[in-house]
C-alpha cells in the first residue's frame, strides 16, 4: 500500500514539475506561429486555457498621455447637439445614455493606448437648486486624468464626466 501511494505521489510531483510552473494549476504552452514574418519573428504568445496573452513589454507608462483638451471640444459639441433646447422629462435618461456612449466611442478612437474610460452624463431639471456632483476612485496622478463637460439651457443642466484610467 505504501509503495502504491509513493508511486502515485511521485507521478503527481513529476507531472506537476514538468508540465506546469511551480504553484500553477493550468497548463501553459508557448506558441510562435509564424517565424518568417519580420515583425513577428522572435515574439511569443503565451496561451493559458482559452485566452491568449502577449508577452509583457515591461512598459510602466503610456506612450501618449491622455490629453483632455483633445476630447473637450468634441464632447461639448455632442452635448450641445443632443440636449439643445430639450425640456426635462423621463426621456432625458435615454439621451444622456446615448451622449455617454458617443463620447466613449470618440475617446476610444483616439491615440491613447492602454487607457480604460469611464463616461458618465448626469442630467437634471433646473428649479433654482444648487447641485454638487462628486466622485471617488483610486487614482494615479502621473498617468490617470479626467475631463468635465458642462451644458445648460433654460430647462435642464447636464454634466459629463470622462475618466481616463491607465491600464498596465
Which superfamily, per CATH, for 68-166?
Tctex-1 (3.30.1140.40)
Judge residue 66's burial from the number of C-beta atoms within 10 Å of its C-beta, 0-12 exposed, 13-18 middle, 19 or more buried: buried
Q: Check pLDDT > 80 for residue 50.
A: no
pTM above 0.75, yes or no: no
> Which of 35-44, 97-106, 133-142, 153-162 shows the lowest per-residue confidence on average (mean pLDDT)?
35-44
Distance CA 27, CA 91 (A): 51
* More reliable by pLDDT, 57 or 76: 76
pLDDT over 70 percentage in the chain: 68
Average pLDDT of the residues of the chain: 77
Q: Check pLDDT > 50 for residue 136.
A: yes
pLDDT attached to residue 8 = 47
pLDDT attached to residue 59 = 79
The continuous run of DSSP H or E covering 9 comes out as: helix 2-19
Distance of CA 147 to the CA centre of its chain: 16
How large is the average pLDDT for residues 16-39?
50
Domain boundaries, the chain: 2-54, 68-166
Give the Å distances, CA to CA, from 161 to 85, 109, 145. 21, 18, 11
* More reliable by pLDDT, 47 or 31: 31
Contact criterion met (CB below 8 Å) for 64 and 111: yes
Here the cell at position 149 is 463637460
Q: Check pLDDT > 50 for residue 129.
A: yes
Amino acid at each position: 500500500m505504501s509503495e502504491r501511494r509513493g508511486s502515485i505521489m511521485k507521478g503527481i510531483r513529476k507531472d506537476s514539475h514538468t508540465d506546469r510552473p511551480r504553484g500553477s494549476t493550468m497548463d501553459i504552452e508557448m506558441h510562435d506561429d509564424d517565424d518568417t514574418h519580420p515583425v513577428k519573428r522572435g515574439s511569443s504568445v503565451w496561451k493559458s486555457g482559452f485566452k491568449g496573452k502577449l508577452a509583457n513589454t515591461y512598459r510602466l507608462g503610456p506612450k501618449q498621455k491622455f490629453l483632455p483638451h483633445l476630447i473637450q471640444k468634441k464632447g461639448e459639441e455632442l452635448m450641445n447637439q443632443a440636449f439643445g433646447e430639450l425640456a426635462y422629462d423621463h426621456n432625458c435618461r435615454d439621451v444622456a445614455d446615448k451622449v455617454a456612449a458617443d463620447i466613449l466611442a470618440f475617446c476610444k478612437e483616439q491615440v491613447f493606448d492602454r487607457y480604460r474610460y469611464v463616461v458618465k452624463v448626469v442630467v437634471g431639471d433646473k428649479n433654482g437648486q444648487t447641485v454638487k456632483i462628486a466622485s471617488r476612485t483610486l487614482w494615479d496622478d502621473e498617468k490617470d486624468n479626467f475631463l468635465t463637460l458642462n451644458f445648460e439651457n433654460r430647462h435642464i443642466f447636464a454634466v459629463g464626466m470622462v475618466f481616463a484610467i491607465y491600464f498596465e
